Structure 1
Amino acid sequence: MRPRSGGAQPRIVTESSPVARKFLYVVAGLIVLVLAALLVYRIWGMQLIRAVMVPREAFTPLRPLAPNAYDDPGMWIARPDIRKGNPALWTPQGLKDAPVAKKAAVFFIHPTSYITTFGGAHWNMRLDDKDALNTARRFVQGQASAFNAVGDIWVPRYRQANYGAFLTRDQAGDQALAAAYRDVAQAFAAFLKANPEGPLILAGHSQGSRHLLQLLREQVAGKPVAERIAAVYAVGWPVSVEADLPALGLPACARRDQAHCLVSWQSYAEPADPSPIIETFERRNGYTGRPRKGTHMLCTNPITGAFNGSAPASANRGTLDSRDDARPPRLLTGIVPARCDTSGVLMIGEPIDMGPFTLPGNNYHVYDYSLFWGDVREDARQRLATFLKS
């Protein structure tokens, strides 16, 4: 707006007031603090997490469950006779599925939901821990639900290892995981007893996939039940093509129309720092006894269902958007691409807002299933169809 002619010209103030200067100093100070915090988190993020998350108590062996513990429906988060409040039966609004020729029985092992800090942390979850169970139910809704079009889903409760067990090299961490596996193995035996015939799909995520791989090695490979496996989804846990797969009795899935095979991926946005997971991967020998270091980490592209390769975002059949607590999760298509990197992890392009649980290094571990929920659903459908034909 122009000043009026003939009158006094407006005075231009070029000096900031003391209050304004003080405000700017505060803003500048906050910016410096935020940048410093981000730098500390970027450099020492995992060290800080370890310091907070690893339990400080000594490991105490768990008392074995009763032999018939998993005959009780209350020991399951999901199974076919649980209809009311079964999170595995959830589907996004408006989703329509064509019926399958024959359903499979699906055994799903949920990921770590027992995450505690400092003095309150135990090495294994108590079965009556409501917070951990509620979180596990949310995981089942967002992950195991991808399989409800192809089968009846069984998800056991188990005394899972604390998240801190993965952050330490102390013997207690291994002991906690071994204790959790014994519960899972007992639940799997009950699952097979209830499903003595027909196709099976085995799936898990993170800690669940770790237990799943051990189940394959000890309870499936080389046994009659192995012939019933339509597909295995060991998502969110590193698998060595050379040092693990030969002992598991199943090959890597090379294409989507292949059955009786195993898929696995771990999701990172770019720029990615997968060094913590690679360190974990290379630290120990595989299930064959061969060192994993120097071998290839299995990366299945969930959009194509193929071993390695890339796919554009436009081909993604659906990503679960769960950011808004005020409304149910939505299925959004064409949002996230996928590319298997030479390191063996799955790249999803630039960071995407999936919620607050992205880990250091642009690690989208928590969202491995959510990023490709629609693709997992189609993948299971096609692999089961192929299995039934054969």
Structure 2
Amino acid sequence: MKNLYLVVFVMLFLSCKSTYQTQTFQSKNTPSIPDYNQEINWAVLPTTYNEELQKFAPNQTEVNNLKADVFYIYPTLNTDKKDIRWNVPINDKEQQDKVLNSAVKYQASPFATSGKIYVPYYRQAHVRSYTLYNEGGKEALEIAYSDVKNAFKTYLEKYNNGRPIIIASHSQGTTHSRRLLKEFFDEKPLKKQLIAAYLVGMGLKPNEFKSIKPMFEPTETGGFISWNTFKKGKFPENKDWYKGSVTTNPITWNNAKTTTLEQHKGFLYTNDKLYKKALTIEITDGLVWSTNPKFPMRFFMSFMKNYHTGDINLFWEDVKQNVELRTKTWLSKN
């Protein structure tokens, strides 16, 4: 069992490779368009919580009483160098397992006590779509976003009923949520229903949106927060994407540049245990610098500089409590 935990942990934190087998992008190879009126095309709906999410979510009665909704968009999970597909069919069982047992479990779960969770499967673009953007990546990402957009439209028409909304995303998910916010919320009537947008794992500039502003107080609502996590003192190879980007402190949620161990509320590890007071952070230009967390097998992280895939679960309890606070604040004013 310990070996299983170790394998899952390493998968969660490994950086993406830069060389992949590929094929020329052709529309005829594109997987079928999902119909989001069919519940089977959703990874999570409030009435179909998966087993892993239920470990951290309220019981069904409490879920029914939640006043807000959470629309979560998961990150790139297809990083297989030998996979020549540009987009993954939503019925791919291997990818579905990753969505439910990695992304939902470690990233959507801290939002589960604040709102009803909605997670659509979408034809995610292969990770090489970023490095080969002009060689098929643009088209692949466009297909992925079209699914997210259609799922959100179905959510609004079928499920929302005027309820307040939390947008949560990571990595490729944030590539799509950025566009979603611009199309549906920014200077739009729906902006009034936005509790907060947690747009993690991508560089977003302060002026990314017109009416949706960065938030630097833990009780602010109606805006967005964002961060990218690296080992203390380390930088990405490409400095262009993160310089000047919004960098929320995911522990204090204010303008504090540093934290203490006592302030860290909890890192969710793959044994489903929460490790409190496990790390400190320092805010630098566009990055959250983290110390090597204190937890079993921590020596593995001493070899890593990029904590990208742990952006949310490194601060799992911190995120959970902040989402609850912002939701409570929004509901008290509306």
The aligned residue for residue 273 of structure 1 is 235
Q: Could you give the per-residue CA deviations for residues 137-191 of structure 1, whole angstroms, max 9, x where no partner exists? A: 1211111000111111000000000011122242411111111000000001111
Aligned 8 A contact 2:125 2:140 in 1: yes
The aligned residue for residue 91 of structure 1 is 56
Q: How far apart, CA to CA, are the structure 2 residues paired with 1:232 and 1:117?
A: 32
SS in 2 for 1:71: coil
- Answer yes or no: is 1:224 the counterpart of 2:195: no
Structure ID, larger Rg:
1
Q: How far apart, CA to CA, are the structure 1 residues paired with 2:128 and 2:294?
A: 27
Q: How far apart, CA to CA, are the structure 1 residues paired with 2:201 and 2:256?
A: 16
Q: What are the residue-to-residue correspondences of 1:8-87 with 2, within 5 Å?
A: 49-51=17-19, 53=20, 55-61=21-27, 62=30, 65=33, 69-83=35-49, 85-87=50-52
Q: How far apart, CA to CA, are the structure 2 residues paired with 1:252 and 1:206?
A: 18
Q: Could you give the per-residue CA deviations for residues 298-323 of structure 1, whole angstroms, max 9, x where no partner exists? A: 0000101124522112111110121x
The aligned residue for residue 96 of structure 2 is 133
SS in 1 for 2:197: strand
The aligned residue for residue 131 of structure 2 is 167
User: 1:384, CA displacement in angstroms?
Assistant: 0.8
User: 1:124, CA displacement in angstroms?
Assistant: 0.6
- Answer yes or no: is 1:301 the counterpart of 2:244: no
Change (3 A) 1:160 1:344: same
Q: How far apart, CA to CA, are the structure 2 residues paired with 1:336 and 1:162?
A: 32
Q: What are the residue-to-residue correspondences of 1:1-390 with 2, within 5 Å?
A: 49-51=17-19, 53=20, 55-61=21-27, 62=30, 65=33, 69-83=35-49, 85-91=50-56, 103-118=67-82, 120-137=83-100, 138-193=102-157, 194-242=159-207, 244-246=208-210, 249-276=211-238, 278-281=239-242, 296-307=244-255, 309-322=257-270, 328-341=271-284, 343-350=285-292, 362-390=305-333
Measured on the aligned residues, the alpha-carbon RMSD in Å equals 2.8
Q: How far apart, CA to CA, are the structure 2 residues paired with 1:105 and 1:86?
A: 19
2:231 partner amino acid: A
Change (3 A) 1:376 1:313: same
Aligned 8 A contact 2:107 2:312 in 1: yes
SS in 1 for 2:36: helix
Change (3 A) 1:233 1:175: same
TM-score of the two chains, using structure 2 as the length reference = 0.85
* Structure 1: stretches of 5+ with no match in the other structure: 1-44, 93-97, 282-294, 323-327
Q: How far apart, CA to CA, are the structure 2 residues paired with 1:257 and 1:99?
A: 23
User: 1:275, CA displacement in angstroms?
Assistant: 3.2
Q: How far apart, CA to CA, are the structure 1 residues paired with 2:63 and 2:17?
A: 45
SS in 2 for 1:301: coil
Q: How far apart, CA to CA, are the structure 1 residues paired with 2:143 and 2:136?
A: 10
Matched positions, count: 312
Change (3 A) 1:186 1:329: same
User: 1:88, CA displacement in angstroms?
Assistant: 3.2
Q: How far apart, CA to CA, are the structure 1 residues paired with 2:88 and 2:141?
A: 11
Q: Could you give the per-residue CA deviations for residues 253-309 of structure 1, whole angstroms, max 9, x where no partner exists? A: 111011111111111112302233x3345xxxxxxxxxxxxx721000010112452
Q: How far apart, CA to CA, are the structure 1 residues paired with 2:307 and 2:74?
A: 17
Q: How far apart, CA to CA, are the structure 1 residues paired with 2:45 and 2:225?
A: 24
Q: How far apart, CA to CA, are the structure 2 residues paired with 1:101 and 1:131?
A: 33
Q: Could you give the per-residue CA deviations for residues 42-67 of structure 1, whole angstroms, max 9, x where no partner exists? A: xxx99x9222x3x420112236626x
User: 1:351, CA displacement in angstroms?
Assistant: 6.5
Q: Could you give the per-residue CA deviations for residues 27-46 of structure 1, whole angstroms, max 9, x where no partner exists? A: xxxxxxxxxxxxxxxxxx99
Change (3 A) 1:307 1:187: farther
2:283 partner amino acid: C
1:186 partner amino acid: N
SS in 2 for 1:106: strand
Q: How far apart, CA to CA, are the structure 1 residues paired with 2:163 and 2:250?
A: 25
Relative contact order, CA 8 A, sep 6+: which one is greater?
A: 2
